[in-house]
């Protein structure tokens, strides 16, 4: 057994783990972070993508012992005070999911992409997400969601974007007027 200490979604965990335990197994089985999905177990699909030390990583390709001393962020660690992260809200508002299986990994990879390229065009989004697979969609809504998230996160794009740039969250999509407009005035 190996002893690890990891900061996951802002909480510190110290555990004894088998040296061969994968990070995805540790997150799901030990910590209950089931938003991190087990997909292919080969690193091909990207469903298990998390942030490790501030960068996206496929957690089925990383041993838990390799995360020792590092910060891990899962999709569950993005929302603050019940408010969706701008990328989560953009995926919701743009219907960028169908079954939802790939969505956590897509969101985590999108964050990494937007950190590197804050204003990507469609081709850059597609290239930035090429290691994450979706079996249900044609990717158009996913690309649209990432571009929307880029707009929401752009400094100076309005009060919501300024709060986001300062670390606060944008309002939940159900509370925004444009969301109500897109849904024909229905809320929720």
Residue 107 in any domain: the answer is yes
Query: Is 69 in the same domain as 7?
Result: yes
pLDDT by residue (tens digit) across 123-133? 999 999 999 99
Q: What is the model's pLDDT at position 167?
A: 38
Same-domain pairing of 18 and 106: no
Say if CB 4 and CB 65 are below 8 A apart: yes
pLDDT one-digit tens code per residue, 152-171: 999 876 444 433 443 333 33
Residue 153 placed within a domain: yes
Hey, is 29 helix, strand or coil? helix
50 occurs within a structural domain = yes
Looking at the 3D structure of the chain, how many domains does it have?
Answer: 2
- pLDDT for the residue 112: 96
The reported pLDDT for the residue numbered 144 is: 97
Residue 187 maps to a domain: no
Query: In the predicted model, what is the mean pLDDT of residues 164-186?
Result: 35
Q: Which residues pair with 8 in a beta bridge?
A: 11, 72
90 and 178 part of one domain: yes
CB atoms within 10 A of CB 4: 22
- Reference 28, options 55, 60, 54; nearest CA is 60
pLDDT tens per residue, range 15-54: 999 999 999 999 999 999 999 999 887 889 999 999 999 9
**CATH classification of the domain holding 6:** 3.10.20.30
- Residue 23: phi, psi to the nearest 5? -60, -40
Q: Looking at residue 120, what is its pLDDT?
A: 98
Domain residue limits at 73 = 2-77
52 and 119 share a domain?
Answer: no
Domain with residue 122: its CATH number is: 1.10.150.120
Q: What is the 3-state secondary structure (H, E, C) of 62-118?
A: CEHHHHCCCEEECHHHCCECCECCHHHHHHHHCCCCCCCCCHHHHHHHHHHHHHHCC
């Amino acid at each position: 057994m190996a002893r690890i200490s990891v900061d996951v979604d802002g909480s510190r965990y110290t555990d004894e783990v088998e040296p061969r335990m994968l990070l995805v197994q540790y997150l799901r089985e030990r910590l209950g972070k089931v938003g991190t999905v087990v997909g292919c177990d080969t690193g091909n699909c990207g469903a298990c993508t998390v942030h490790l030390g501030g960068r996206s990583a496929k957690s089925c390709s990383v041993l838990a012992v390799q995360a020792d001393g590092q910060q891990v962020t899962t999709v569950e660690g993005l929302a603050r005070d019940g408010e969706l992260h701008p990328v989560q809200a953009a995926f919701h508002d743009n219907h960028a999911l169908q079954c939802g299986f790939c969505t956590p990994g897509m969101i985590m990879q999108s964050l990494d992409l937007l950190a590197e390229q804050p204003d990507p065009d469609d081709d850059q989004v597609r290239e930035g997400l090429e290691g994450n697979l979706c079996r249900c969609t044609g990717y158009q809504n996913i690309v649209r969601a990432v571009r929307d998230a880029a707009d929401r996160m752009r400094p100076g794009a309005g009060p919501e974007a300024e709060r986001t740039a300062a670390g606060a969250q944008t309002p939940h999509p159900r509370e925004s007027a444009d969301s109500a407009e897109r849904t024909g005035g229905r809320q929720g």
